[in-house]
Amino acid sequence: MQITYHPYILLPLVTLFIALVIVVRAWRYRTRPIAMIFLVMMLALAEWSLAAFLEHASLELPAKVLWIKMTYFGITTIPVTWLIFTLRYTNREKWLTRRNIAILAILPVVTLVMVWTNNIHHLMWKDIWLDTSLSLPIDVVTHNAWFWVYAIYAYSLILLGTVCLFTTFLRSTGIYRKQVGAMLFASLVPWVANFLFIGGIEPFSVVDPTPLAFAITGVIFYWGLAQLQLLDIVPIAHKAIFTSIADGVIVLDTQHRIIELNPAAEYIFRCTSTDVIGQPLSRVLPEQAGLTELQPEVTKMETEIVLGEGKTQRYYRTFISPIHAQGRLNGHMLLLHDDTERRKAEIESRERARLEAELTERERSAEILRHRLELEETIARISSRFVSISDIDAAINDSLADIGKLGKVSRTYLFLLRDEETTMDNTHEWCAEGVSSQIDSLKNLPCGMFPWWMTKLSNGEVIHVTDVSKMPAEASAEKEMIESQDIKSVLVLPVFVSERLTGFIGLDSVTETVEWSDNDLAVLRISSEIIGNAFERKQAEHSIEVRVKELTCLYRVSQILNKPNADLDTVLAEAVGFIPDGWQSPEITCARVIIDDKEFKTDNFAVTEWKQSSDIIAGSEKIGALEVYYLEEKGKSDEGPFIKEERYLIDSLAGMLGEVTQLKQADIELTRLYEETKSLNLQLEARVKERTKQLEEAVTAAKVASQAKSEFLASMSHELRTPLTAIIGFSQVLQEQYLGNLNEKQAEYVSDIVDSGKHLLALINDILDLSKVEAGKMELDISSVKIKDLLQNSLVMIKEKALAHSISLETQTAEDIEGLEIMADERKLKQVMFNLLSNAVKFTPDGGAIKVEGRREGEELIISVSDTGVGISSQEQKRIFEEFYQVSGGVKDKTPGTGLGLSLTKGIVEMHGGRIWVESEGLGKGSRFTFTLPI
Amino acid sequence: MEKEVILIVEDDPKSLTLTRDLLQISGYTTIEATNGEQGVELAKANKPDLILMDIMMPKMDGYSACKAIKADEATKKIPVVMLTAVGYELNKELARRIGADGYVTKPFSRQELMAAISPFLSAF
């Protein structure tokens, strides 16, 4: 055989070399199924490469044909091993049954047979001829049908493997995905090479690059497998542990996504790996587990996770450890160890301990409760005995027995104090069997004997002696007394009635030293209080009984006494009979009433030395006495035979008798007086009627008269004015000389007529006004009046006249009436001002002065008119406002005044609610009229 | 200019004469009635420029006559000035109530009469 070098042989050589290196490197993993099939595939590749190399190296056709045939050993092996490898790699081993492998092998075996028997049937290739046109002879193969059948089959297998890788790639995550991706990429390389070869692209049209492509694939596959450590034996063991370990294992990447989890973890979290791989840890772990926030830097951690609730609740000890690869953190591993049984046992034992403690506690409280119940029963029994105090002594004796039995003592007893707490007696006692009674020797003891004892009791303290020898020095008397009775322990409680120490209850123990518990003390205290209350109630009941008797007596006596229409003597005789009933012992009580000369007695009446009496008084006069006697000596009391209440009762009865007597006597007088009054009343009534009638008539008459007067005034006014109108009017017409000139005498007379007419008119006006004021008929026409304007306008009315006599006029108004307005009758106020001013002018000599002043004083407006005139004497000042009184000495007017002006002025001012007065220093010194108006 | 006509309603002949004279002196034309009824009739018939009306009169008093004049559409625009001798009773308020436009208190001077009627007359 001749071997020639040329470039085409390089490619198979390189492939052969690579395949052999891979085989050598992977040889150590040969025991692993996946490595085994990989090795077979690589060896097949090596054979193919070697045969191809030799084919290209041969120069003769027969040699070339032989090597071509040899290549088919590798060519027919590779597709099948490729598929088996990819199936193993992608965890699809279940498909790799013997039968399936055998089926897969059928076609390759047939092809091999076809190759070696081609001379007979030429189904693989029709012809192989040597092309010598090039520098190197090249064998040219014309493939026949079977070749194409096998090619399709082979590529189908490779395609199937590629598809398997591709689907796994789609499903995988993390580094798996990367690895599968790399494998997928590797599986695509032969495809590319084949396309190059079949497509006839130089130089691959001659040299098939497929083996090299498979070599590259093999390199990548080897890298991927080694990276995954799939080829190591240790990972196999690890995998076995991983899948079969009872503890859950989860592998996380650095982002805490789940990369891997074992069946145990799937069970724990009730999930399947396909669902959760690639998902964050929080997807399966409840948030409260506290692991979802796992920090990347966490190195090692141990914690507990609780999953589920109630009966299905499980506890997992969870160990977290980082996974490092090539010096950097690749993720974390979580190991979950089911700790439930231990935890449940722990909880159970804790619960058992708790229950036991509770039971003990309950038993203890039950014991306390039982004792308390016993105490309470005792108290209930004691208090029930005292509910009704028909026999207080028996109740006390029974209670002492209860207390003694409860306290397990030798003797219990009650002492009562008397005579202002100076003496005490042992009144009640209970003794245990075999203990001697002491009651008879403990009577009439002076309290002063036991000062320490008594002081403590008075303060409400309990004396609790457990060891007699330890009693203080000041208690020597008590100590001696206790020792003399062979007492070992003693307990003494005070009994109070109405907050006053009345006695004490004592407990003695003769046989042994006893220490009483707080509960015992409480019961004893309550018992002593109950006994104290019983005494108190007994006293109260007794005093109520007495009060009721007294009240009944008083009531019955008063009932009899107040019988209407009853004769006094009968009443008294009956009342006396009831008097003894007011006493505690009516059978030994008698009574007597002496009124005036009469005597009323009880049937058993007798005079004895035990007497109490009270005077019966009617009005302020003693009319008799009430006497009450005891027929025999009754008890002993500081106050005498009759106690305070009894004396009050006698006084009350005597008072009542006095009052009744007085009333009965007064009744008779009253009846007489009533009759008398009745007849007087009748007379009076008749007179009143008559008088009323008269008055009514008078009122009617007055009304008629008043009406008549009003009408008279109205008609007077009219009747008098109408002729005056004519008189004044015509004489004025004459005076003004419209109808011709008058001579001097005529003018003088006409003037006189006018003046007289005017005077008469003024007189009539004033009389009418005044009579209206007096009759109360004057009406005010009230409106708002500006004071300043009023004063100024009033001056205008007399300005002319004043000027004629060179009398100066002055107004002086205070600032506070500037703008002041009051409610008044403006026209009448003008009249007032006019009257005062015209009087002033009249009585002021020529060259004098008149001054009008206005000011305000509080709620009053004060207006005055003063002049420098003749003045008014003090006698005249008093009369000046009287009607028709005229001051002499008017100098300015020939016409005399009406004598009514000031009366009218006064009337008007007073109608407005004001006052008017005059001041003058005397004759010749001027005068001042002042009036006020309310504001 | 035509003289303005004033109707005097007055029962007292002397007062009537005086009032008429005083008005004529002042240049007015007068017509006269001696009771309220006649006054109302003359007021309707003659439509005077002003009426001077006494209050106390027979047949119909001044109040009623004034009210009648003021109630009649034809005469209600004629000013009525009351002549009163009753003192101050006929004050402004009463005048307003009966519809009178003014009043003069008797006795009056010529000046007082003129002062009372002139506001209602165009010429004086």
Quote the tokens at residue A104. Answer: 């897969």
Task: Enter the ipTM.
Answer: 0.73
Q: Does B118 touch chain A (CB under 8 A)?
A: no
pLDDT at A894: 46
Q: Please report where in the chains the tokens 């220093």 appear, as a residue.
A: A921
More confident residue, A886 or A116: A116
The percent of residues above 90 in pLDDT, for chain A, comes to 4
What average pLDDT score do residues A376-397 get?
Answer: 77
Where does residue A421 fall: left (phi above 0), alpha (psi -120 to 50 degrees), or beta otherwise? left
Q: Which two tokens stand for residue A154?
A: 């082979």
* CA of B27 vs chain A CAs: smallest distance (Å): 12
Chain B residues in contact with A725 by the CB 8 A cut-off are: 12, 14-15, 18, 85, 106-108
DSSP state of A426: E
Report the pLDDT value the prediction gives residue A287, as an integer from 0 to 100: 61
Which residues of chain A have a Cβ shorter than 8 Å from any chain B Cβ?
Answer: 714, 717-718, 721-730, 732-733, 736, 738, 757, 761, 765, 768-769, 781, 827
Q: What is the pLDDT of residue A735?
A: 87
Best mutation target among B8, B21, B106, B114 (most A Cβ atoms within 10 Å) is B106
Q: What residues of A are in contact with residue B106 (Cβ under 8 Å)?
A: 721-722, 724-725
Higher pLDDT, A316 or A642: A316
Residue of A902, A881, A908, A905 whose CA lies nearest to A780: A908
B73 CA to chain A: closest CA distance, Å? 32
Average pLDDT over residues A873-885: 78
Side chain identity at residue A546, one-letter code: V
What contacts A483, CB < 8 A, 6 or more positions away? A468
Average pLDDT over residues A124-144: 73
- Among A782, A722, A792, A786, which residue's Cα sits nearest to residue B91? A782
Instruction: Indicate the residue of A718, A727, A732 with minimum beta-carbon distance to B86.
Output: A718
Q: Give pLDDT, residue A1.
A: 47
Q: What is the pLDDT of residue B88?
A: 54
Residue type at position A592: R
The CA distance from A729 to the nearest CA of chain B, in Å, is 6
Residue B15 to residue A714, Cβ atoms within 8 A: no
Cβ atoms A76, A85 nearer than 8 A = no
CA A683 vs CA A233, A679, A693, A864: distances in Å = 154, 6, 15, 60
Cβ neighbours of A829 in B, within 8 Å: none
Q: Encoding tokens for residue A57?
A: 């190296």
Nearest to A187 by CA among A229, A153, A159: A159
Separation of first and last alpha carbons in chain A: 163
Q: Which of B15, B22, B25 sits opposite A722 (nearest CB)?
A: B15
The answer to whether the CB atoms of B107 and A729 lie below 8 A apart is: yes
For residue A846, pLDDT over 50 is answered with yes
* CB pairs < 8 Å spanning A and B: 62
Answer yes or no: are the C-beta atoms of B32 and B10 closer than 8 Å. Answer: yes
What is the structure's pLDDT at A479? 83
Residue A893's pLDDT band (cuts 50, 70, 90): low
Under DSSP, the state recorded for B86 is: S
Q: Which of A135-139, A187-191, B42-46, B65-69 has the lowest mean pLDDT?
A: A135-139
**Predicted local distance difference test score (pLDDT) of residue A291:** 61
Q: Which residues of A touch B12 (CB under 8 A)?
A: 722, 725-726
The neighbouring-strand residues paired with A497 are A500
All residues of chain A having their beta carbon less than 8 Å from the beta carbon of residue B107 are 721, 724-729, 757, 761
Cβ-Cβ contacts under 8 Å, B109 against chain A: 728-729, 732
Residue appearing with tokens 């009287």: A882
If DSSP codes are grouped into helix, strand and coil, which group holds residue A411?
A: strand
**Strand-pair category, A849-857 with A808-813:** parallel
The pairing of strands A411-418 and A423-431 is antiparallel
Contact of B52 with chain A, judged by CB distance below 8 Å, is answered with no
For residue B56, the chain A residues in CB contact (below 8 A) are 718
Among A717, A728, A729, the residue with its CB nearest the CB of B87 is A717
- The answer to whether the beta carbons of residues A276 and A257 sit under 8 Å apart is no
- How far away is chain B from the Cα of A833, in angstroms, using its nearest Cα? 18
Closest to A123 in 3D by CA, of A140, A155, A147? A147
C-beta pairs of A474-481 under 8 Å, 24+ apart in sequence: A477/A449, A477/A450, A477/A451, A477/A452, A478/A450, A478/A452, A478/A453, A481/A449, A481/A450
What's the rounded mean pLDDT across residues A495-520? Answer: 81
Contacts B110 to A, Cβ<8 Å: 732-733, 736
Task: Examine the pLDDT at A636 and tell me if it is beyond 60.
Answer: no
The minimal CB distance from B18 to the residues A714, A726, A761 is found for A726
Please give the pLDDT value at position B91. Answer: 59
**Residues of B with Cβ-Cβ distance to A761 under 8 angstroms:** 107
- Nearest Cβ partner of B106 from A722, A738, A827? A722
Top residue of B10, B88, B103, B112 to mutate, by most chain A CBs within 10 Å, is B88
Name A896's Cβ contacts closer than 8 Å, sequence gap at least 6.
A759, A886, A890
Cβ-Cβ contacts under 8 Å for A169 (sequence gap 6 or more): A177, A180, A181, A184
Q: What is the average pLDDT value for chain A, to the nearest integer?
A: 81
A725 → closest Cβ in B18, B21, B91 = B18
Sheet holding A314-325, edge to edge: A258-261, A248-253, A328-338, A314-325, A301-307
Residue ranges in A172-262 assigned as alpha helix (H): 174-198, 210-228, 233-244
Indicate if the pLDDT at residue B99 is higher than 80: yes
Determine, for residues B93 and A738 on separate chains, whether the beta-carbon distance falls below 8 Å. Answer: no
Whether the predicted pLDDT of A930 surpasses 90:
yes
Spatial separation of the C-alpha atoms in residues A283 and A301, rounded to whole Å: 20
Give the closest of B21, B89, B106 to A733, CB-based.
B21
Q: Is B109 in contact with A730 (Cβ distance < 8 A)?
A: no
- Min CA distance, A770 vs chain B (Å)? 13
* Burial grade of A282 (CB within 10 A; 0-12, 13-18, 19 or more): middle
The pLDDT > 70 percentage for chain A reads 89
> pLDDT per residue over A206-222, tens digit each?
667 777 787 888 888 77
Q: State the smallest CA–CA distance between residue A758 and chain B in angstroms.
A: 9
Q: At what angle do helices A518-561 and A392-407 cross, to 10 degrees?
A: 170
> pLDDT for A721-776, tens place per residue?
778 888 888 888 888 887 788 888 888 888 888 888 888 888 887 777 777 777 66
- Smallest Cβ–Cβ distance between A725 and the set B25, B85, B110 belongs to B85
Tens digits of residue pLDDT in A292-338: 555 556 667 778 888 777 777 888 888 888 777 666 777 788 888 88
Identify which of A190, A517, A513, A577 has the alpha carbon closest to the alpha carbon of residue A375.
A517
Nearest CA in chain A to B56: A718
Contact yes or no for A725 and B106 at CB 8 A: yes
| The pLDDT value given to residue A233 | 44
Answer yes or no: do B12 and A717 touch at CB < 8 A: no
Chain B residues within an 8 Å CB radius of A722: 12, 14-15, 85, 106
The per-residue pLDDT for A85 is: 86
| Cα–Cα distance measured from residue B54 to residue A628, given in angstroms and rounded to the nearest whole number | 104
Kindly indicate the confidence band of residue B41, based on its pLDDT and cuts at 50, 70 and 90: very high
Q: Are A632 and A640 in contact (CB under 8 A)?
A: no
Sheet holding A621-630, edge to edge: A598-601, A589-595, A621-630, A610-618
Would you call B21 and A757 a contact, using CB atoms and an 8 Å cutoff? no
CB A59 within 8 A of CB A2: yes
Do residue A733 and residue B25 have CB atoms under 8 angstroms apart? yes
Q: CA of A761, closest CA in chain B: separation in Å? A: 8
Burial of A515 (0-12, 13-18, 19+ CB in 10 A): exposed
Q: Which of A611, A605, A599, A548 is nearest to A573 (CA)?
A: A599
Structure tokens at A230: 């799939």
Given pLDDT bands bounded at 50, 70 and 90, which one contains residue B6? very high
- Across the interface, whether the CB atoms of A722 and B87 are under 8 A apart is answered no
Residues 6+ apart with CB under 8 A from A174: A253, A257, A259, A278
Confidence (pTM) = 0.33
Which chain B positions have a beta carbon within 8 Å of A765's beta carbon? 87
Chain A CB within 8 Å of residue B22 CB: yes
From the list B19, B91, B107, the residue facing A724 with the nearest CB is B107
Which token pair is A71?
A: 């290549």
Residues of chain A with Cβ-Cβ distance to B18 below 8 Å are 725-726, 729-730, 733
A290 or A409: which leads in pLDDT: A409
Contacting residues for A887 by C-beta, under 8 A, at least 6 apart: A843, A872, A876, A880
Query: How many helices (H) and strands (E) in chain B?
Result: 5, 5
Collapsing DSSP states into helix, strand and coil, what is residue A529? helix
Range ranked top by mean pLDDT from A139-153, A308-322, A692-706, B36-50: B36-50
User: Is omega for the bond preceding A723 within 30 degrees of 0, making it cis?
Assistant: no
pLDDT of residue A394: 82
Strand-strand pairing, A423-431 and A445-446: antiparallel
pLDDT at A231: 46
Helix (H, G, I), strand (E, B) or coil at A890: coil
Q: Please report residues of B whose CB lies closer than 8 A to that of A757.
A: 107
Pairing of strands B5-9, B29-33: parallel
Write out the two tokens for A40. 């077979």
Q: How far is CA A441 from CA A426, A427, A437, A438, A637, in A?
A: 9, 11, 9, 6, 28
- Tokens 């145990």 belong to residue: A264
Of B12, B87, B110, the CB nearest to A722: B12
A634/A588 Cα distance (integer angstroms): 9
Helix axes A644-735, A518-561, angle to 10 degrees: 70
pLDDT at B42: 92
pLDDT, one tens digit per residue, over A221-270 is 777 777 665 544 444 556 667 777 788 888 887 777 888 888 888 888 88
Task: Give pLDDT, residue A839.
Answer: 86
The pairing of strands A598-601 and A589-595 is antiparallel
Distance from C-alpha of A929 to C-alpha of A926, rounded to nearest angstrom:
10
Q: Do B108 and A718 count as a contact with CB atoms less than 8 A apart? A: no
Considering chain B, what is the average pLDDT of its residues?
84
The B residues from 56 to 115 touching A (CB cutoff 8 Å) are: 56, 85-89, 91, 93, 106-110
